[in-house]
Amino acid sequence: MDTYHLELNDVDDIIPELANHLGTIYNEDLGEYILKIPNSKGEGEIRVINFPNGIGLYTYHCKFKEDLQLNLNHLKVKPIRFIYCVEGSLNSSFAHNQACTSIIEHEYLIAAPRENETHNLHFPKDQEIELCYLEIDRLKFQNYISFDLKELEPIFFELFSDCSAKNRISEKSRFSIKTAESIKELRNSDITGFPRINFIGAKALEILSYMLNSIKRDDQNTRNSGLNEKDIKAIEKAVEYIDANISNTGTVTDLSKVAGVNINKLQEGFQSIFGKTVNEYIRDVRLTRALNILLAGNKNVSEVVYELGLSSRSYFSKIFKEKYGVSPRKILSRKIGSQDLKEN
């Protein structure tokens, strides 16, 4: 097994340190660090960006030829990590503690080491692994917010107030479909340059918001909706199908057959989880995809309409402006950036 011990003085040290261990180089663009896995070790890439509010977004999309373990030792920062496993599996442990926590696809782990304790991430060999995790510098985050941390609910105060890392945290559960959707939008985004940085920052806060809401309410919306585990998996299957076939999703009846539930249960599930009908959800996925394509600037409005399976350019322009407050042509003309959009 390849084991790399990373001594980190600053949150931005992880990519340079890892590149040194892997014997490769890395790139940096507007604060986002990108490391390509060298062919000798595997394939894929790791991206890291840290924001002034103390929140860092880390994405791993890689496959290693040998078991690999990263021993993360922050010498100054006392971080807490919210780790989402999108594909594959990951093992987490602390210091030399033999006990480890494993997470698989659709599971998350809240992890924080104690003072002077390493947090070890173990990646199994020959496995496609996709992770997205938030790393929060609790002291910087605490100084950034505009209120006293003591005003928070006890469960959040316990998570974010331990700036001296007196307590170890290792708790796992399944993450929500909303969280999965936000991570998917990050992965599928074609936005580049400064708009990308704004987009990533907004999505990082969105993912954190969903996580905190899940912790607080323990997924009450889902639990109180009458949806059981089988129903939730059916909704996930429908969501995955929509994402992969956005230009031709079929009717609600078609989607209910794909999901393996009746139409009423499918609609009930979408209303409970997303607060939308199935068709409203499909419309919003198309509009989000359209925004990303337009911001990338590689296709005109007609090409976007065709790619998303819409029959009317005028209808697309109408619903796009209703959602974002500007026309698709204005986005394409570069007269507005992603940070100026209004979403209804």
Residue 182 lies in a domain: no
* Cβ(111)–Cβ(25) below 8 Å: no
Residue 226: per-residue pLDDT: 60
Last residue of a domain, one of 175, 191, 209: 175
Residue 245: CB atoms within 10 Å: 14
135 with 282, same domain: the answer is no
**One domain, residues 119 and 250:** no
Whether the CB-CB separation of 215 and 207 falls below 8 Å is answered with: no
Are 133 and 264 within one domain? no
**Strands (DSSP E) along the chain, which ranges?**
2-8, 26-29, 32-36, 42-50, 55-64, 68-74, 79-87, 89-94, 101-104, 107-112, 119-123, 129-137, 169-174
Tell me which DSSP letter residue 48 carries. E
Domain assignment present for residue 43? The answer is yes
Q: What's the total number of domains in the chain? A: 2
In the predicted model, what is the mean pLDDT of residues 171-190? 82
Same domain, 109 and 20: yes
Instruction: Tell me: do 292 and 167 sit in the same domain.
Output: no
Q: Is the dihedral of CA 285, 286, 289, 290 positive or negative?
A: negative
Residue 155 located in a structural domain: yes
At 11, is the pLDDT very low, low, confident or very high (cuts 50, 70, 90)?
Answer: confident
d(CA 77, CA 104): 27
For residue 245, is pLDDT > 50? yes
Domain range enclosing 236: 225-340
Confidence of residue 335 (pLDDT cuts 50, 70, 90): very low
Asked if 239 and 115 sit in the same domain, the reply is no
User: What pLDDT score does 247 carry?
Assistant: 86
Q: Does residue 211 lie in a domain region?
A: no
CA distance 33 to 135: 15
Residue 243 domain-assigned (yes or no): yes
Give Cα 337 distance to the centre of its chain. 22
**Of 144, 179, 177, which is closest to residue 163 (Cα–Cα)?**
144
At 234, phi and psi to the nearest 5? Answer: -65, -40
Q: Which pLDDT value is given to residue 338?
A: 43
- Is pTM, for the whole model, over 0.75? no
Mean of pLDDT values over 66-83: 91
Q: Read off the CATH number of the domain in which 118 is found.
A: 2.60.120.10
Residue 110 lies in a domain: yes
User: What percent of the chain lies above the pLDDT cut of 70?
Assistant: 92
CA distances, 110 to each of 48, 102, 175, 176, 342 (Å): 18, 12, 11, 14, 32
Could you say which of 112, 145, 175 is where a domain stops? Answer: 175
Q: DSSP string of 108-127?
A: EEEEEPPTT--EEEEEPTT-
Residue 24 sits in the same domain as residue 132: yes
Q: Are residues 20 and 160 in the same domain?
A: yes
Residue 330 is part of a domain; what is its CATH number?
1.10.10.60
Domain shared by 25 and 120, yes or no: yes
Q: From 175, 192, 215, give the residue that closes a domain.
A: 175
Q: What are phi and psi of 47, to 5 degrees?
A: -125, 140
Same domain, yes or no, for 88 and 6?
yes
Same domain, 38 and 112: yes
- 200 located within any domain: no
Residue type present at position 7: E
Q: Are 22 and 171 members of one domain?
A: yes
Q: Answer whether residue 86 is part of any domain.
A: yes
